[in-house]
A and B are shown apart, each in its own frame.
Chain A
Amino acid sequence: EAGVTQFPSHSVIEKGQTVTLRCDPISGHDNLYWYRRVMGKEIKFLLHFVKESKQDESGMPNNRFLAERTGGTYSTLKVQPAELEDSGVYFCASSQDGNYNEQFFGPGTRLTVL
């Protein structure tokens, strides 16, 4: 069974540009989460989808971040325009339901904003 995949693995962009990160969850997982780890700090929750609906987006930093999950399959996270403080590793995770079940994490996308 394929795990959670993320694309790209690494992105380097200049301040003011736009970047779109993609996450493909494990097939059949309705729950999809985005997290971010900035500069060796803790991994912080960004948002949670249940199928195509945003269940909780309380962790989204500001309106420069837009997450979508059309059709309830893969998800994208767009940052527009990117700022220096957006640099970090963006993790996606999926789970089979919203309870205690293990969240399966992807390898992350390392975003560097210059």
Chain B
Amino acid sequence: GEDVEQSLFLSVREGDSSVINCTYTDSSSTYLYWYKQEPGAGLQLLTYIFSNMDMKQDQRLTVLLNKKDKHLSLRIADTQTGDSAIYFCAALEGSGTYKYIFGTGTRLKVLA
């Protein structure tokens, strides 16, 4: 089955760009997602990318997908303190159901 991996921590300075990386194993995953979890809150969908796309941009967020290397990244431009949260990468496992396979989450800390 699908396996998704992420690094656990990332620390950046306010105003810098953040890049959160994710790798996955199942090349048949059709959709890949980035969710954000702030303290005490549920998971909020930030963006998603379809597997036939290489890049998707949405305001300060840029998602890059390298299908050959099964590598997904989320770039946050001009990172703000409000971006401090846990970011989860998830792959849609479409083998008969539509469950998400999540990574461990990357805790982003933005330093003022």
Contact = CB atoms under 8 A, between A and B. Distances in A.
B71 to A, nearest CB: 17
A42 B104 contact: yes
A55 B87 CA distance: 28
Contacts of B48: 100, 102
A59 B102 CA distance: 13
A104 to B, nearest CB: 8
Given A31-B98, A48-B99, A107-B41, A100 B30 contact: yes
B96 interface: yes
Contacts of A42: 4, 102-105
B99 A107 contact: no
A88 interface: no
A90 B35 CA distance: 16
A3 B98 CA distance: 20
A104 B102 CA distance: 15
29 contacts: A35-B100, A35-B102, A40-B104, A41-B104, A42-B4, A42-B102, A42-B104, A42-B105, A43-B88, A43-B100, A43-B105, A44-B102, A48-B97, A48-B98, A48-B99, A56-B96, A56-B97, A91-B42, A91-B43, A93-B43, A95-B98, A98-B98, A99-B98, A100-B30, A100-B48, A103-B45, A104-B45, A106-B42, A107-B40
Given A93-B43, A103-B100, 18 more contacts: A4-B42, A31-B98, A35-B100, A40-B104, A42-B102, A42-B104, A43-B43, A43-B88, A43-B102, A43-B105, A59-B99, A91-B43, A98-B98, A99-B98, A100-B98, A103-B45, A105-B44, A107-B42
Interface of A: 3-4, 31, 33, 35, 40-45, 48, 55-56, 58-59, 91, 93, 95, 98-100, 102-108
Interface of B: 4, 30-31, 35, 40-45, 48, 50, 88, 90, 92, 96-105
